Amino acid sequence: MTGATMPEQRIRKITHEYAWELTMAHLDHAIVTGQPLVERPFWYQDTETGDCYWDLYGAAAWPTEVTDKDMGMMGYLGVVAVVKGEKKVENSRFKLLAEFESFDIPTLLEKMVELRQAFGFGIHPGLLQGWLGDPERFITAIALYNERLTVNDAGQAILIIPPDDFYVQHAFDHYVRSLRSVIVTGRKRLFFGSCDILKNKVQETFLRDNPAVMAVGGLVHSLLSRTTWMDQARESAFILEERDV
């Protein structure tokens, strides 16, 4: 992080003792049963809580536009983990591990770097490599920040990736529905932990374009669409074939 001390990581990677054999067994089972997804032979552990996760993701939403009435709503950052433990991995629960909000873009960018470092960035390829959000707003601010960041951090630029259906009409409506689908009684899959910002936002009647709802809603919508914490069986089979060569 530019001009600041990097926080200590609280996430460690755990690889199964027999990762190769386990992957083969999962792949064989997927082929026999016709399942498109396979369980990974590694996971992550939170050293502060002892909880284990299949994967972690970052969600971001920029502040809403300033008007002649007020400053709009603050931008929001959230880190969400896919909790390990469900019998069916594809039905895993989600947990909000950390969140932050601010009106200031440089402050949000600094916090992105701080949060990704704390939650395991760099311990596995792709982990918190990008934040799901709007890649087209504040392009100049992000580019200038990345120029300063890459001088000291070996090219570890901040990447903003659009969530699924971000460019379709009524995207916010899709995200609200996906978010509400995982917090309703009887089907709850998203847990807020000690985080109160989003928890309070979803209890408000007026949600339109709220950055916290937009950020985590877009992330949840993407997770429900693609189950990205599991591997595709076909891709895993290809990797195994390449290793056997």
DSSP letters spanning 14-38: EE-TTHHHHHHHHHHHHHHHT-SEE
Tokens standing for 137?
A: 């707003």
Residues 6+ apart with CB under 8 A from 105: 62, 63, 75, 138, 141
DSSP string computed for 39-108 = --SEEEEETTT--EEEEEEEEEEPPPPP-SS-----EEEEEEEEES--SSGGG--EEEEEEEEES-HHHH
CATH of domain 53-232: 3.30.420
Under DSSP, the state recorded for 125 is: T
- Domain residues of the chain, as ranges? 53-232
Q: Three-class SS of residue 177?
A: helix
* Residue 84 near residue 54, CB atoms below 8 Å: yes
| pLDDT (0 to 100) of residue 67 | 81
pLDDT score for 128: 94
Which token pair is 238? Answer: 């290809």
Cα–Cα distances in angstroms (integers) from residue 42 to residues 23, 52, 116, 126, in the given order: 10, 10, 19, 14
- As a whole number of angstroms, the distance between CA 225 and CA 227 comes to 6
d(CA 158, CA 64): 20
pLDDT value at residue 238: 42
pLDDT (tens, 9 = 90+) of the chain, 245 residues, equals: 444 555 678 999 998 665 556 566 656 555 656 565 677 889 999 999 999 999 999 999 999 988 878 888 999 999 999 999 888 888 999 999 999 999 999 999 999 999 999 999 989 988 999 999 999 999 999 999 998 886 555 458 999 999 999 999 999 999 999 999 999 878 899 999 999 999 998 877 667 889 999 999 999 999 999 899 987 655 544 444 444 43
pLDDT at residue 66, as a whole number: 84
